[in-house]
Amino acid sequence: MRRNGALSKMMPLLSKAAIAVALASFALPVASQDKVWRVGLLSAGTTQAAGAPTSWRSGALLSLERNGFREGSNLQLVDRYAAGNVGRLPDLAKEIVAANVDVIIAITDTSVRAVLAVSKATPIVMVVGADPIEAGFVSSLARPGGRVTGITFQTFEGDAKRLQLLREAMPSARRFALLRPPGPVP
């Protein structure tokens, strides 16, 4: 039970780190301070999970602020949330694209698919759980190509690296297991 509690305490920090890394991978030029950059954020979740100290919105704004972007000054965040109803994502993606955003942060694989289906040009920063190569979002992790970039949590390459780190952290361990829900990650 202790490990599960530690993991739940780490999740807000991990989500902030994920946003920071994803946004850093798509650097908006700060030189043009007179331009108001419009950033879309599409999530299958809610604005903020119950009891969570942070949200995707607050994490994105914090990361952008650290890079010179301030909401109400040179930044407008256009965020939409499906509240767990992934069937709403295509319509929400259309709303964000219609707002003429410069880039879209897509949280979850289904959010990335929804944006790809409604926009042929808008750059996408993904924060996904599945393998983006297998999903067809990017051609490789080292050189994504196209207009999708960002971070992922579950990839074959990442799994191998995590296993290597576990072996280094626990050299006497002989067996490791992976628990995950059955079926594809939404």
Instruction: Tell me the two tokens of residue 74.
Output: 């040179």
Instruction: Give the per-residue pLDDT at 6.
Output: 47
Flag whether pLDDT at 1 surpasses 50: no
Highest mean pLDDT among 48-57, 125-134, 173-182 belongs to 125-134
Model confidence over 94-107: pLDDT tens digits? Answer: 999 999 999 999 99
Mean pLDDT computed over 76-92: 94
Residue 2's pLDDT band (cuts 50, 70, 90)? very low
pTM of the model: 0.69
Instruction: Give the per-residue pLDDT at 7.
Output: 45
Per domain, the residue ranges of the chain are: 2-156
Lowest mean pLDDT among 29-33, 55-59, 74-78, 182-186: 29-33
Residue appearing with tokens 């970039």: 149
Instruction: Give the per-residue pLDDT at 19.
Output: 59
Mean pLDDT computed over 131-150: 85
Flag whether pLDDT at 39 surpasses 70: yes
On average, the pLDDT of the chain sits at: 79
Residue 79's pLDDT band (cuts 50, 70, 90)? very high
Q: Evaluate whether 64 touches 23 at the Cβ level (below 8 Å).
A: yes
Neighbour order of strands in the sheet with 75-81: 75-81, 37-43, 103-107, 124-128, 148-152
What CATH number matches the domain at 2-156, 3.40.640.10, 3.50.50.60, 3.30.70.2190, 3.40.50.2300? Answer: 3.40.50.2300
Residue appearing with tokens 């944006």: 115
Residue 121's pLDDT band (cuts 50, 70, 90)? very high
Q: Evaluate whether 36 touches 99 at the Cβ level (below 8 Å).
A: no
Lowest mean pLDDT among 74-83, 89-98, 132-141: 132-141
